[in-house]
Amino acid sequence: MNELADFTSQWIRKTSRRLRSDSGANVMFEFAISLPFLVLMVVGTFAVGLMFDRSLTQGQLARNAANMYARGIRFNTTATQQLLVNAATGMNMQLDGTGDSVVYLTTLTRVRSDANCVVGGTSVPCGNRGLIVIAQRFTVGNTSIGPSIFGTIAAGNLDSQNNVINFEHQSYARATTSPSISDPVTGLGEGEFIYASDVRHNPTLLKFPGIVAPEQMLAWAYY
Amino acid sequence: MDKLRNTRKGIVIIMLAAGAPFFFGLAGLSVDTIYIYAVKARLVTAVDACALAAARTIGRGQTEMNRIVDMTFNANFPADMLMTVSRSHTDPTITIIPNEGRREVAVEGTAVVPTLFMRMFGWDTLTVGASAEASRRDVNIMMVLDRSGSMFRAPGVNPGPNAMEDMKYAAQEFVNQFDDGRDKLGIVSFGSAPRVDYAPQSNFKAGAVALLGTLYADNSGTNSSSALWQGYQALTGLGEPNVLNIIVFFTDGVSTHFNGTFRTNTTPSGTVCDNIDIDGAIGTYSSPSSDGVIGLVDMDPGPPPVLSDQDDWITTPNCGFSSADPRDRIPVLPVVDLYGNSVTGPSTIPFTTSGIPTTRGLNIKPMTENLTVNAAIRVRTGALAGIPATIYAIGLGGEAPISYPADHNLMRRVANDPSSPDFGSHSNEPSGTYVYAPSAAQLRQAFQQVASEIFRLIQ
């Protein structure tokens, strides 16, 4: 064992001396020291580039979805939902409720302050007078990724055209707005409509080792 | 220095150090470019949304349009978004496209972006710009509104506002949302017989709103198919295929009447009234089990206002034809209505003789349903002047004392709503929407939804 230890010690000393005297090896040595930084820089650039690309795709998806929605496209058929999947290149969006992305399309309106509803056969002031409510909702993708920024509407509260049933009165129709995103919509007038999309994406493929990636990406658009 | 020049020790470090400013400068330029591009993408979204919102609200005047555009811009591009120094947009500008029945709305936006690395070269901020245009088609609308007897009811409160009053108010709000100067709007109201109350025209707001205020529901039936057709005739009479032609069809219940040419029978005594054709409206009662027949009703209910707009029986002077139940003189029913629409369709006609429907209430109901569906198909396929129209249907639910709500499948078929049972075979025709208001108090919401759908379509 001692012989082996002596041999190893001598080999390291010799190699070290040779490296110090050999300028070619020295370059390799310095390059090896620099390499982690260079690799980190390249990987970092690549990751940021991918993240930006994904962010751009997501933003365009939100824009295209809201644009089509505002023009009257109803996303309750496979054909129309496929339009969104096609626009979500690289975002692993699936129509079967799986995948890494979800698109919510929401019609928001402000209930008139003088709106009356019929409850139990009697005309009473609507419960949502003056409030911003969700009038229609379409969902495409994996809802388990996260809810819409405007709140969740249970399937049972939507009619066959995805209109929210009795949205002037029922509390479930009230939009839960995120202050940083939807404050400007507080300017929505009574009886006015605005069409919104919000896209959530779980960027699993962007999570490089050692690179901090967001758990979830969000994009939205109002039309 | 000689020693340094003559050795290769540390050369990599030196090269990296020498190249660092260049590499970092390049990386900084990339970061700034990416950043600016991200701001630009957001700005494009904001101005695109503004242009579309402006096109949607063009009929509400420049002030309102500016407000909506401002709100939309702020919603898409809030202050401080993406660390921008400032952002702004122009008010929308409108350009009329001659002879095409549309207008272009343009909006421009700018954002001032602080640079991260380029400031080292003297550029502290950069201004990013974007512009967008949206097209707004002119729209011609016929409102076809039910004023049958069942519209006179007082849900919930008694005495109180009846369904007719709620409908009138909702319709007036609907009218006020369109562009008085460029769009055209008319009104057909119907009971047992329809009537063009307000011919389609521009500068309609004051006149149409006033007319709606005079409508009155009285003791009459529901002649949906003829009303739909007369609305279509009035619409196509404008002769404007380039604009968007729309029919808004409202009813509160089942269809009961239709217009036709009815042939009298031969009587044993023989009169000059034997075997003659009489134009009129025939009908039955709302109850699905009723076999009773009502008719013939005069197809011209008289000019509005219609405070006594009840059924006028055709008496056919000198022919002894004065009964409200015409079965003694009219034993069978026509196979097409007065406008050429077929009486056969998805609803089965139970009683026929050699394929000809006999005059029974249980036949009239499915016939009126089929006629309404067939008239709607011809409307959507441009049977007159090659001008198709999109139909939006609004149905009202049954409330005491009226227990027969609008027929959902019939209304879906009329609108060619994607949820219609026949949508598959009519998917190439204009598709509208069916909106159901379970109670009269929800009519305003329903009309508002239809208005929003139309505004989406005219962009």
User: Which residue among B74, B439, B459 places its CB closest to the CB of A184?
Assistant: B74
Question: Using the beta-carbon criterion (under 8 Å), do B434 and A161 form an inter-chain contact?
Answer: yes
Residue A136: enclosing H or E segment and its boundaries? strand A132-141
The answer to whether the CB atoms of A72 and B456 lie below 8 A apart is yes
**B157 falls in which pLDDT band (50, 70, 90)?**
very low
How far is it, in rounded angstroms, from Cα B95 to Cα B89?
Answer: 18
- H or E element at residue A106: strand A101-110
For residue A59, give the nearest of B16, B34, B42 by CB distance: B42
B303, pLDDT greater than 60:
yes
C-alpha dist (Å) from residue B214 to B66, B136, B217, B304, B307: 34, 32, 10, 8, 8
User: Token match 């809201």: residue?
Assistant: A66
Per-residue pLDDT tens digits for B353-392:
998 999 999 999 999 999 999 999 999 999 999 999 999 9
Instruction: Classify the complex by whether its ipTM is higher than 0.85, answering yes or no.
Output: no
CATH, residue B350? 3.40.50.410
Say which of B37, B53, B453 has its CB closest to residue A72: B453
Q: Which of B119, B137, B155 is the last residue of a domain?
A: B137
B269-274 long-range contacts, CB within 8 A, separation 24+: B271/B319, B271/B320, B272/B318, B272/B319, B273/B316, B273/B318, B273/B319, B273/B320, B273/B321, B273/B329
Residue A28: CB partners within 8 Å, gap ≥ 6?
Answer: none
Q: Which pLDDT does position B159 carry in this prediction? A: 33
If you average pLDDT over residues B426-430, what whole number do you get? 94
Instruction: Give the pLDDT score at B411.
Output: 95
Give me the long-range contacts of A21-27 (CB less than 8 A, separation at least 24): A23/B7, A23/B8, A23/B9, A24/B8, A26/B8, A26/B9, A27/B8, A27/B11, A27/B12
Identify whether A199 is part of a domain.
yes
Domain limits for position A188:
40-222
Q: Which residue, B58, B9, B334, B268, is CA-closest to B179? A: B58
Beta-bridged to residue A89, according to DSSP, are none
Q: Pick the closest to residue A131 from A181, A196, A190, A183 (CA basis).
A: A190
Q: How far is A60 from chain B (nearest CA, A)?
A: 8
Paired tokens of B134: 């949206």
B124 and B143 inside one domain: no
Chain B residues lying within 8 Å of A187, measured CB to CB: 67, 70-71, 74
Contact B71 A187 (CB under 8 A): yes
Mind listing the pLDDT tens digit of every residue in chain A (223 residues)? 567 778 777 877 776 666 566 666 777 777 788 788 878 877 777 777 788 888 899 999 999 999 999 988 889 889 999 999 999 988 999 999 999 999 999 999 999 888 877 776 677 888 999 999 999 999 999 999 999 999 999 999 998 889 999 898 999 999 986 655 556 677 888 888 999 999 999 987 656 665 556 678 999 999 9
Chain A residues in contact with B436 by the CB 8 A cut-off are 159
Q: Which of B7, B45, B160 sits opposite A63 (nearest CB)?
A: B45
Size of interface A-B (CB pairs under 8 A): 138
Query: Is residue A222 within 8 Å of residue B72, measured between CB atoms?
Result: yes
The closest CB to that of B419, out of A27, A48, A161, belongs to A161
| B300: its two tokens | 């011209």
The answer on B341 and B444 residing in a single domain is yes
Closest approach of A134 to chain B, Cα-based (Å): 12
Cβ-nearest to A123 among B37, B49, B160:
B160
Where a domain ends, among B107, B137, B167?
Answer: B137
Task: Give the structural domain span for B63.
Answer: 2-137
Could you tell me the two tokens for A18? 């040779």
The C-alpha torsion from B43 through B45 and B46 to B47, rounded to 10°, is 90
**Which of B104, B137, B170 is the last residue in one of the domains?**
B137
Q: How many CB atoms lie within 10 A of CB B344?
A: 16
Decide which of B163 and A208 is more confident. Answer: B163
What's the structural domain count of chain B?
2
B15: in domain: yes
Is residue A72 one of the residues assigned to a domain? yes
The confidence score (pLDDT) of residue B119 equals: 85
> And the tokens for B222?
């529901």
B123 shares a domain with B143: no
In this structure, are B8 and B127 located in the same domain? yes
Is A97 a domain residue? yes
pLDDT tens sequence across B94-143: 998 887 888 999 999 999 999 988 888 888 999 999 999 999 989 999 99
Percent of chain B with pLDDT over 90: 55
Mean pLDDT of all residues in B261-280: 86
Pairing of strands B139-146, B244-251: parallel
pLDDT score for B167: 92
Whether B70 and B200 map to the same domain: the answer is no
Measure CB to CB from residue B12 to each of A27, A77, A187 and give the nearest one: A27
Length of chain B: 459
Q: For residues B352 and B394, state if they share a domain.
A: yes
Residue B272: inside a domain, yes or no? Answer: no
Residues 6 or more apart from B418 whose CB is under 8 A from it?
A74, A76, A77, A161, B431
Contact A184 B78 (CB under 8 A): yes
Going through B1-138 in order, the beta strands assigned E by DSSP cover 86-89, 93-97, 102-114, 125-137
**By the 8 A CB rule, do B73 and B46 touch?**
yes
Q: Enter the tokens of residue B84.
A: 């921008």
If asked whether residues B367 and B450 sit together in one domain, one would say yes
Is the per-residue pLDDT at B18 higher than 50?
Answer: yes
Q: In the predicted model, is pLDDT for residue B406 greater than 70? A: yes
Please give the pLDDT value at position B48: 96
Residue A180: its chain B contacts at CB < 8 A?
A: 78
Q: Which of A31, A59, A222 sits opposite B49 (nearest CB)?
A: A222
**Most A CBs within 10 Å, among B13, B30, B32, B71, to test the A interface:** B71
Tokens (6 digits) for B457:
């379509």
* Partners of residue B16 in chain A, C-beta under 8 Å: 34
Q: What angle do CA A133, A134, A140 make, to 5 degrees?
A: 160
Q: Return the residue of B nearest to A188 by Cα.
A: B71
- A168·B445 Cβ contact <8 A: yes
* Mutation target vs A (from B76, B447, B454; most A CBs, 10 A cutoff): B76
From B438's Cα to the closest Cα of chain A, the distance in A is 9
Tokens of A201: 């994406």
Contacts of B36 in chain A (CB under 8 A): none
Same domain flag for B24 and B147:
no
Nearest to B419 among A59, A160, A222 (CB): A160
Q: Do B13 and A30 touch (CB under 8 A)?
A: yes
Closest-CA residue in chain A for B447? A191
Q: What is the pLDDT of residues B33-82, one digit of tens each?
A: 888 999 999 999 999 999 999 998 888 889 999 999 999 999 999 988 89
The mean per-residue pLDDT over the stretch B255-268 comes to: 90
Query: In terms of C-beta density within 10 A (0-12 exposed, 13-18 middle, 19 or more buried), how is residue B31 classed?
Result: middle
* A68's tokens: 């089509």
| Residue that wins the pLDDT comparison between B458 and B124 | B124
Look at A27 and B331; give whichever has higher pLDDT. B331
| B433·A161 Cβ contact <8 A | yes
- Asked whether residue B132 falls in the same domain as residue B153, the answer is no
Partners of A192 on chain B (C-beta within 8 Å) are 68
Q: Which residues pair with B110 in a beta bridge?
A: B88, B129
Whether residue A79 is contained in a domain is answered as yes
User: Among A161, A164, A183, A195, which would you mutate to test the B interface (most chain B Cβ atoms within 10 Å of its Cβ)?
Assistant: A161
* B448 shares its domain with B396: yes
**Inside any domain, residue A18:** no
Q: Residue B163: which of B441, B450, B406 has the closest Cα?
A: B441
Q: Mark yes or no for CB contact A67/B7 under 8 Å.
A: no
Residue position matching structure tokens 């390799």: A28
Residue B168: pLDDT band with limits 50, 70, 90: very high
Q: Count Cα neighbours of B431 within 13 Å in the Cβ-side half-sphere.
A: 16
Q: What is the pLDDT of residues A92-149, one digit of tens each?
A: 999 999 999 999 999 999 998 888 777 766 778 889 999 999 999 999 999 999 999 9
Residue A27 lies in a domain: no
Residue A163 lies in a domain: yes
| Domains held by chain A: number | 1
Name the pTM for this structure: 0.75
Interface touch B435/A163, C-beta < 8 Å: yes
Judge if B244 and B389 occupy the same domain.
Answer: yes
Closest CA–CA distance from residue A163 to any residue of chain B (Å) = 9
A165-192 per-residue burial string, b: 16 or more CB within 10 A, e: under 16: ebbbbbebbbbebeeebbebbebbeebb
- Whether A29 maps to a domain, the answer reads no
The residue with tokens 């340094």 is B4
